[in-house]
Amino acid sequence: HHILSWTICCRFLKETSANQTIDFEDGITNNTRRYLRGKHKKYTGPCMATNPIDRCWRCKKNWAKNRKRLAKCVLGFGHRTHGGSKGKYYVVTDNSDHDVLNPKPGTLRHAVIQKRPLWIIFAHTMHIKLSQELIVQSHKTIDGRGADVHIAYGAGFTLQFVQNVIIHNIHIHRIVPSSGGLIRDSEDHFGYRTAGDGDGISIFGSSNIWLDHISMSECHDGLIDAIQGSTAITISNCHFTHHDAVMLLGASDNYSKDQFMQVTLAFNHFGKELLQRMPRCRWGFFHVVNNDYTHWKMYAIGGSVHPTIISQGNRFIAPHDPNAKEVTYRLYASESEWKNWIWRSEGDVLLNGAIFRTSGPLSPPHLKFNRKEIIKSKPGAYVRRLTRFAGTLNCKKRIKC
């Protein structure tokens, strides 16, 4: 790989001038917020691919015949993820989930427990209510394009001690706790699982994960949790709404192995009725690039135990609450401690009184990344366009998606 030295501070020394801070004397009304967001009506114009991940595969009529091209498009820390691209297609034809010990062929559960690489697609639109957590094996792509796929009103996804998984273009909402019990997790193994928390997607001790164009809301616990040594993750083009604790990256202040965690958040929209944790980070390195934060009620980005957070080209629209204007929130640390944490802001647009409190040494060490690991940011003024198609896409065969 071509390696470049990325000095995370040199360009941040002028962060005050690089950021754009705009205050509205009368605040932002809902109509103004929608205008800033650019979400007026459902888009009906010609196909547009507005960010580098989407430009890699979108707006091509033959996408359905060349689905695996998607696996070449991931950028950021999850860039090595190729999912099930080396395997055959598996078509989900049955939305039932009645038998978690001996899943029925044609169901999503039967597909994900196979030990061989698979590219999983859906025969038609379906709503799937999972009776227990869906335990996904390594080397899988779950590709919802061409169908309207909802995982709802039941359990969520579990990626535990696996690698190389892509989840793309599905809805995940209203996930509830599951009772646990005997569940098959592969073709040749089942075991007893404790009760599930009600996370939308739980990533545990896993690596090379890409979550893209997912619409998520109203899960009982977190929308996405990545913990216990998980790393090499990209979360991109997703739309998050109606939730309290959105995203947890690192679950314990005592689990120091999470210092190796590396996560990219790119081109996501953090939307209506969100409270906090977008994300909430521990230990690792987090690149938050060109996301749109249009709503939060407590804070947007939080952390503890000295995570490194690099925020580039995001748009932060603060809530009306004068006590919730700050984007950032440090937990369980005095200022004398967190002043040394590297939290940087470059090219962010701060609206309605939003405040990004930076910290860390003026001359931090050089960090070496290859060009695929660090997505080159656009200024925050471009975020409306870059995130315009966040969430699930309405892809139809023989029509540009």
Residue 276 belongs to domain with CATH number: 2.160.20.10
DSSP state of 359: B
**Residue 396 domain-assigned (yes or no):** no
Residue 195 in any domain: the answer is yes
Is the per-residue pLDDT at 25 higher than 50? no
Question: What is d(CA 318, CA 241) in angstroms, rounded to the nearest whole number?
Answer: 16
What is the reported pLDDT for 134?
A: 98
What distance in Å separates the CA atoms of residue 124 and residue 14, rounded to the nearest whole number? 52
Domain contains 63: yes
CA pair distance 36, 317, nearest whole angstrom: 9
332-354 pLDDT per residue, tens: 999 999 999 999 999 999 999 99
Query: With 0-12 CB in 10 A as exposed, 13-18 as middle and 19+ as buried, what is 359?
Result: middle
Number of domains in the chain: 1
Put residue 336 in one of left, alpha, beta given phi > 0 → left and psi -120 to 50 → alpha.
Answer: alpha
Q: Of 58, 67, 109, 277, which one is the catalytic site residue? A: 277
- In whole angstroms, how far apart are CA 32 and each of 39, 250, 271, 353? 11, 35, 14, 15
Helices (H), 38-192: 52-55, 108-112
Examine residue 243 and state whether it is found in any structural domain, yes or no. Answer: yes
What is the tens place of the pLDDT at every residue in 359-392?
998 765 556 788 889 999 999 999 999 999 999 9
3-class secondary structure, 351: strand
> Is position 166 within any domain?
yes
Amino acid at 197: D
Identify the H or E element spanning 76: none
* Residue 398 domain-assigned (yes or no): no
Mean pLDDT of 52-67: 96
Judge if pTM exceeds 0.75.
yes
Q: Which domain holds residue 335?
A: 3-386
Would residue 397 count as lying in a domain?
no
User: Does residue 393 lie in a domain region?
Assistant: no
What is the predicted pLDDT for the residue at 368? 75
DSSP E strand boundaries for 103-197: 118-122, 126-128, 134-135, 140-143, 149-152, 157-160, 163-168, 171-173, 181-186, 189-193
pLDDT tens sequence across 146-198: 999 999 999 999 999 999 999 999 999 999 999 999 999 999 999 999 999 99
- Tell me, yes or no, if 37 is annotated catalytic: no
For residues 162 and 380, what is the distance between their CA atoms, to the nearest angstrom?
35
